[in-house]
Amino acid sequence: MAETLIKLAPSLSELASLQEGLEAFGEQAELSLKLVTQLNLILEELVTNTINYGCTGDRDYWLTVGLQLVDGSLTVTLEDNAEPFDPTEEAPEVDTTAALEDRKIGGLGIHIVTAMVDQLHYSREGDVNRLVLKKDI
């Protein structure tokens, strides 16, 4: 079993800390470079969107990324106190067959995330958004 918790301030400058924490977890859990790279892409997309679109009010925001590997199952838990947003329901549909210039903005990130994980679940508990991703490795 391997696990870690990465705490982030709501700033894009924290993406470097996120990557460092993810790489350290990858070494501890003996994950492949390909998987660590995929996780970095997924988490960078989700954290960036949370910071840019969810942390817009005038209060102290926080974000955490929990990583846990147990018996070949990787669980990633993102929590924050940003504005409520369920990316599994509220993100726009993406038409990947349309020409690039004809596509609407938004939704591509969660589309990519969904394609890279086995399970994705959102919940809101009190003032906390929780997004849980699972991937069998």
What residue segments make up the domains of the chain, in order of their start? 2-136
57: tokens are 């009010």
Name 42's Cβ contacts closer than 8 Å, sequence gap at least 6: 76, 112, 113, 116, 117, 133
CATH code: domain 2-136 is: 3.30.565.10
Instruction: Indicate the pTM of the whole model.
Output: 0.85
Report the share of the chain in percent with pLDDT over 70: 84
Q: What was the pLDDT predicted at 127?
A: 95
CA separation for the pair 62, 6 (Å, rounded): 11
User: Does residue 129 have a pLDDT over 80?
Assistant: yes
Q: What is the mean pLDDT of residues 100-105?
A: 53
Residue 44 confidence class, pLDDT cut points 50, 70, 90 = very high
**DSSP SS3 for 23:** helix
